[in-house]
Structure 1
Amino acid sequence: MSAALRLTDLHSYYGKSHILQGVSLEVGQGEIATLLGRNGAGKSTTLKSAVGLITPRQGRIELDGRDITGQPAHRIAAAGLSLVPEDRGIFQLLTVEENLRIAERRGSPWSLADIYRIFPRLHERRRNGGGQLSGGEQQMLSIARALLNGPKVLMLDEPVEGLAPIIVEEIVAQIRLIREAGVPILLVEQNLAVCSQLADRHYILELGRIVHCANANEFRNDPDTIDRYLGVKA
């Protein structure tokens, strides 16, 4: 399977702190991969390095085989690598539909009708202000805006953190639909049940290094490794 996104030997710093110490991973076409690890392992730093919010000092980032290392964030976004950040970043004073319309991009395979099909709640709330939405609805809006950009790879940072179980189920179903539509996904998530339901491949990050990689089956059948690195029983 060819890689939609490949990170090779990434080293990133915050000031003098060496956070990523040679991170290598890939997301195949049509695949969901998870990046797991304890708090402070470097998961969000990996995503920010990939999209150019942090410039790696060493390593290579390839999107669909094209080297995008060191490019500014707006060029990486235009090339098709989209990050849905943990803080969601929606415009509180704009309506749902206005939030979506400003994200529309000419040539994107995703239309507003596609978005409303996958996220029926957003259609119901389309005239509500962004600040009137629940946390789960704001998360859906953030993902939907990223899709309207027509991403080649979608990266999600903690998409179900703090959400009610019924909303988590809804977002899991929506992530599946996005993958079925052909969008590869790199998922950072603490909820292991969600990761196990969704992912084809799992990477575990510890202190800025990838310490374990497994396919879905191997991961499911190896609770000892999960416990060693993540500190929970599967």
Structure 2
Amino acid sequence: MMLKVQEIHSYYGKSHVIQGVSIEVGQGELVTLLGRNGAGKSTTLKSIAGLIAPASGTVLFKGQDITHLPAYRIAGRGVCLVPEHRGIFRLLTVEENLNLGRKKGSPWSLQDIYKIFPRLYERRRNGGAQLSGGEQQMLAIGRALMNHPQLLMLDEPVEGLAPIIVEEIVAQLKLLKAQGISILLVEQNLEVCTQLAERHYIIEGGKIVYSNDNASFMHDTYAKDQYLGVGAVQ
């Protein structure tokens, strides 16, 4: 098992945001974490990545306890988070942003990233602030790949993007999954989720309230209406 989260509880100050979340992601598996806004999706990812220290519970990565490691140590082990707002350095060029993510010994090179995302090659001399939203998302994923991730966590990667760009990013995520990278995906676009995922979790009020395989989830109208709302299904 690549990732095993066991009964973690996380807080923002005195606010008990994550209340006993348990999820698993296998080798080369893409799993989604779904839920309404404010349900605790991003906080779960941050708790796994070490940006928030869980108050209790355990995070196991490849069987090793990483619960209380600092974020840079967790990233060094191969857990990479691409945050919702992408974290692009706006004053640096595309190539400089990519090189910042380079990990010594990583099998991913600039040429590999440019092959996956040809748009980044075309924009390699452009500053981060000059990129479109879709190009910034490609850059954020490419920079994470330069760090040689074994688990890639993506927070709303296609939010607000044009349909043609969404299709492009979905195609590249399929390619990354085929190469054996495990992916934990937070996403509101259910069509994207069902195209990509083997399994789905739904979080509500900081607790996992539903989990199922993709085929069962696709036909479970009740669960989608009950936990995600009509707006998420459309």
Q: TM-score range by the shorter chain?
A: over 0.9
Aligned equivalent of 2:59, options 29, 51, 61: 61
The alignment's TM-score, normalised by the length of structure 1, stands at 0.97
2:156 partner letter = E
The alignment's TM-score, normalised by the length of structure 2, stands at 0.97
Distance in 2 (CA, whole Å) between partners of 1:223 and 1:198 is 19
Distance in 1 (CA, whole Å) between partners of 2:99 and 2:67 is 30
Residue 106 of structure 2: aligned partner: 108
Aligned pair count reads 232
Residue 178 of structure 1: aligned partner: 176
1:121 partner letter = R
Distance in 2 (CA, whole Å) between partners of 1:90 and 1:40 is 24
Q: What is the CA distance between 1:224 and its match in structure 2?
A: 1.4
2:166 partner letter = V
CA deviation string 1:165-212 (max 9, x = no partner): 111111111111111111100000011111011111100000000000
Residue 16 of structure 1: aligned partner: 14
Aligned equivalent of 1:203, options 201, 204, 209: 201
Residue 212 of structure 1: aligned partner: 210
Distance in 1 (CA, whole Å) between partners of 2:198 and 2:99 is 32
Unpaired stretches in structure 1, ≥5 consecutive residues? none
Residue 141 of structure 1: aligned partner: 139
Residue 91 of structure 1: aligned partner: 89
SS at match of 1:48: helix
Which consecutive segments of 4 or more residues in structure 1 shift more than 3 A? none
Unpaired stretches in structure 2, ≥5 consecutive residues? none
2:150 partner letter = K
Q: What is the CA distance between 1:112 and its match in structure 2?
A: 1.2
Distance in 1 (CA, whole Å) between partners of 2:91 and 2:44 is 31
CA deviation string 1:64-96 (max 9, x = no partner): 111101111111111111000011111111111
Over the aligned positions, Cα root-mean-square deviation in angstroms equals 0.9
Residue 126 of structure 1: aligned partner: 124
Identical counterparts, % of pairs: 66
Residue 3 of structure 2: aligned partner: 5
**1:167 has 2:165 as partner:** yes
Residue 193 of structure 1: aligned partner: 191
2:98 partner letter = L
